Amino acid sequence: MISVNLDEQNVHIGDTIRVHNKVIEGEKTRIQIFEGILIRLRGRGVNKTFTVRKIGAGGIGVERIWPLNSNIIVKIEVKKKAKKVRRSKLYFLRDLIGKKATKV
């Protein structure tokens, strides 16, 4: 199982996480929260990235990719741990619809 240590907590594939992202609009900055399932970790060292998928409005899936060492990420918190995940990449969630797409 692939895991990464973020702020003294282990984050695994399949966990529901909240990524607090700093957004700069003109002169103002604000924190935007993106909550979803961690479906992919890839890369090594400085090039490590992670992908989070959520079901947006109208049942449309939204994925975002961040570099792990990005300075726009303020905080990553684990909302729910995955029970049992047997894959390192959860691409099969892209084909599922409704509640099945959010349960791992």
The domain locations on the chain are: 3-101
| Local confidence band at 21 (pLDDT 50, 70, 90 cut-offs) | very high
Question: Dihedral (C-alpha) 40, 22, 35, 53: value to the nearest 10 degrees?
Answer: -30
Over residues 24-34, the mean pLDDT reads 96
CA distances from 30 to 21, 22, 26, 67 (A): 8, 6, 11, 19
Over residues 81-104, the mean pLDDT reads 89
Over residues 3-7, the mean pLDDT reads 45
Assigned CATH topology for domain 3-101: SH3 type barrels. (2.30.30)
List, in order, residues 6 or more apart from 99 with CB less than 8 Å away: none
> How far is 98 from 20, CA to CA, in rounded Å?
25
pLDDT of 5: 46
Proportion of the chain above pLDDT 70, given as a percent: 91
pLDDT of 1: 38
More confidently predicted of 1 and 31: 31
pLDDT of 6: 53
Q: Write out the two tokens for 79.
A: 């909302």
